[in-house]
Structure 1
Amino acid sequence: MNMNNNWKYKFLTIWFGQSISFLTSAVLQMALIWHLSVSTESAAILSFASIVAFLPNAVLGLFAGTLVDRWNKKIAMIGADLFIATVSLALAIYGLYAEIPIWLVLVILFVRSIGTSIHTPAINAVTPLIVPEDKLTKCSGYTQTVQSIGYMAGVAIAAILYPICSLSTIVMFDVVGAVFASITTSFVKIPSNPTAQRQEKTNLLLEMKEGFNVIRKNEGVFALICIGAIFMFIYSPINALFPLITLGHFNGSTMHASITEVTFSIGMLIGGMVLGVWGGFKNRGYTIVSAIALMGVAITLSGILPSSGFWIFAVLCIVMGFAVSFYSGPQVALIQEKIDIQYLGRVFGFFGSVTSFAMPAGLILSGLFADKLGVNNWFILCGIACISLAVVSLCFKSVRNTNK
């Protein structure tokens, strides 16, 4: 695809707006977590809130992705942002007149996730329309960097605002962020895909099936999506168990738990910057598998550490964050490169759906067994599983030949 010379302007304009929206969403996310924690003091409610937030994307992913392929992607992005803003605004207005109940927070998390299930495949499908193919991985690295900075800043801002501002006020920041992202996106002229314009719209279910068949025919992408689902099933509970291993095994405080979150984000930031400059191995499959193996080594070492080894664990959190950037960035870029643009919405919708199912499934499994085995032993088990997954992945010819 030929790109105009102003692709950098388009990419930076869109992602400047998205970075502000991501920042305000991170602030709101932390504020809602603290609100649920303070109001209920229930780990079950927090776990249920996580599942509620993942569920729409898991169920609607492929359906939403198919609609994205049908629609104008720029309008889809703006519409999803404004939908999320409207939902947040409703919560803010309610909070002006009454105390926000727990059930309403859960409903808002669920409905906002519907907007996200459309927005994520839309922006991933837009990127290859404006970014040259050989720059996709580096741009994914820049995106990881922006998101890491946004998350770290979001945690810090939420820590400042939550004690002094009402929840409604914090929600309004998210509304402003979503509207700002819509405005910046509206400034960018996004080229359409001629093939998609000529494609006759038939039946939604048939289009969904067609999208799945496209994924299945590309053996490398299909294999890495399946590997990614297994990886998220193994890894997602580990991230959720950071506070537990910090407070329990390492005998730390809430301050130490915060340090692990910050160091993990620093690792993601460093990983995103390195990926943006280097771009990873020429073979995307090797980069993804290496990241999984590196994550497995870091998780295993974390579980082996004695109770006095917190600061080594904090360093290993940096390694884990670094590995996440080198896993997710090339994964997205590979799909953008290998799949025809007219199917990207469906493919990213399917990818989001599969990983969204894997995350809560992993959380449920860890909830059943982590306490019985010991959190540090669960880390060792999951770390070995990640390393084994990386080794097995390299046995597949489709993974080794992803660049062919």
Structure 2
Amino acid sequence: MTAEVAAPLTANRDYRLLWGGRMVSELGVSAATIAFPLLALAVTGSAAASGLVVGTVAVAQLFAGLPAGALADRWNRKKVMLGCEAAQAIAAASLVAAVYWDVVSLAHLMGVAAVMGVCAALFEPAEDASLPAIVPDDQLPAAVAMNGARANLGHLAGTAAGGFLFAVGRFVPFAVDALTHVAALAALTRVRLPARRVVPAERTHLGREIVSGLRWVWDHPHVRVTAVCATVLNLFFSAFYLVVIVLAKARGVPPGEIGVMAAMLGVGGIAGALAAPYLRRRLTPYASIAGVFWALTALTPLAVFAGNGYVMGALFLAMALLPPAANTTIITEQLLLTPDELRGRLSGVLGLLTGVAGAAGPVLGGVLTEAVPGTAAVLACAAGIAAVTVLVTVNPTLRRFPRRSPTDTSTPLMEGT
């Protein structure tokens, strides 16, 4: 008997279209995100207005997170993704027109920012929940890792391009953003997304659907424990990142070197994502997860001795190498454990937790830098990471974290747009 061998991930047409379209889209979003505060400052002359515009993206994404996950389970997921790309293209184009005709306003900027945040909240659960239907189970870890590399690459390239494009013309970053969303929309229309099985139970109420998603996350120890630990780690690391930036400025590190520091996180994330499939095969799930916490526990205090931006950049690169492998292990298990009809809500809940940690971390870092000297603030963040590392090390659920073997699944019928 001859076994049917699945084509490699690189030969998966639908995954390539989804990955490539999203890559281009993320580049445009990153470029626009950098240009947003610059445009707000140019239009209003107020730094507070710049912060308000950028904050609107995060606030909209946070508030839309839980409903978005439930809607990704309720609606046609391909249509959700198509709608998000179309809405962002229209929003960016409206801003291009407003800038060109010199009628742009703070309210318009905030409206476009809100569209970006809501679309991000909707797109991510729809894509995450669709991934197991596009790639075979045994290739899911590689797909998750490549999605992580894509996010880092898009952010790096878009951030680098945003400032340059704004210097060319105030409307240029947003014109590029609109074009990237159109390109992503065209790629998505060609993605063949398998039809979903109909859930027998009738949908009753969006609020109850959201609660059922929260209950699912809480009732499954592997999902609950990894979500809580990752949230706490993100909280302290986000605080640490701000503390290090403030400390670098206080030590007279030039802005160019600070930019290198920030870029090295993305470079390390890309390298780690590319190495994640190899590391996942070599390490047990527990070793992969606990290794991230122990590595950060060992590396964060070294920031006290980093005398320039290049040394700190190398430290950031080292910190970013292991998390993609752990994320691949965790996300793969979560997706395979969760029924298809709940995957959108799973992604929505986890996205909300990540967003809260990402928003609260800089606040914590700011409080620490105001309350204590920079070196003490670094050590306080390191102590928080060390505390959660101890909990991860002794946690019985994580010590028994499963290494899944691929399961055979039948190929469902194709779903139209």
Q: State if a TM-score over 0.5 links the two structures.
A: yes
Q: How does 1:4-403 map to 2 (within 5 A)?
A: 5=7, 8-36=12-40, 48-98=52-102, 100-166=104-170, 168-194=171-197, 196-249=198-251, 251-279=252-280, 283-302=284-303, 304-305=304-305, 308-403=307-402
Write the letter of the residue equivalent to 2:178: V
Q: Counterpart of 2:139 in structure 1: which amino acid?
A: K
Separation in 1, partners of 2:39, 2:281: 40
Gaps of 5+ in 2: 404-417
> Which residue identity does 1:68 align to in structure 2?
A
C-alpha separation between the residues in 2 aligned to 1:109 and 1:13? Answer: 26
Q: Give the C-alpha shift of residue 74 in structure 1.
A: 0.9
Change (3 A) 1:102 1:13: same
**What is the RMSD of the two structures over their aligned residues, measured on CA atoms?**
2.6
C-alpha separation in 2, matches of 1:328 and 1:20: 23
Alpha-carbon separation, structure 2, partners of 1:6 and 1:138: 10
Q: Which deviates the most, 18-27 or 137-146?
A: 137-146
Flag the 1:293–1:35 CA change in 2: closer, same or farther, 3 A: farther
2:32–2:177 contact (8 Å) kept in structure 1: yes
What's the CA shift for 1:326?
3.5
Deviates more, 1:280-289 or 1:19-28: 280-289
Q: What is the identity, as a one-letter code, of the residue corresponding to 2:177?
A: D
Distance 1:243 1:84, change over 3 A: same
> d(CA) in 1 for partners of 2:43 and 2:247?
24
Pairwise CA distance, 1:241? 4.3
Residue 42 of structure 1 and its aligned partner are, at CA, apart by 6.9
The count of corresponding residues between Structure 1 and Structure 2 is 398
8 Å CA contact 2:243–2:369 kept in 1: the answer is: no
Q: Which amino acid aligns with 1:20?
A: V
TM-score (norm 2): 0.87
> Where does structure 1 lack aligned partners over 5 or more consecutive residues?
none
| Residues 158-202 of structure 1: CA deviation (Å, up to 9, x unaligned) | 233221122x221011111112112211111111231x4544222
Contact 1:300 1:380 in 2 (8 A): yes
The answer to whether the Cα contact below 8 Å between 1:224 and 1:285 also exists between their aligned partners in 2 is: no
Identity among equivalent positions (%) equals 17
Indicate how the Cα distance of structure 1 residues 361 and 230 shifts in structure 2: closer, same or farther if over 3 A, else same. same
How big is the shift at 1:222? 0.8
CA contact (8 A) 1:290 1:390 kept: no
1:169 counterpart letter in structure 2: V
Q: Contact 1:89 / 1:172 at 8 angstroms: preserved in 2?
A: yes
Could you tell me how far 1:57 is from its partner in structure 2? 2.5
Aligned amino acid, residue 232 of structure 2 = I
Write the distance in 1 (CA, Å) between the matches of 2:237 and 2:354.
11
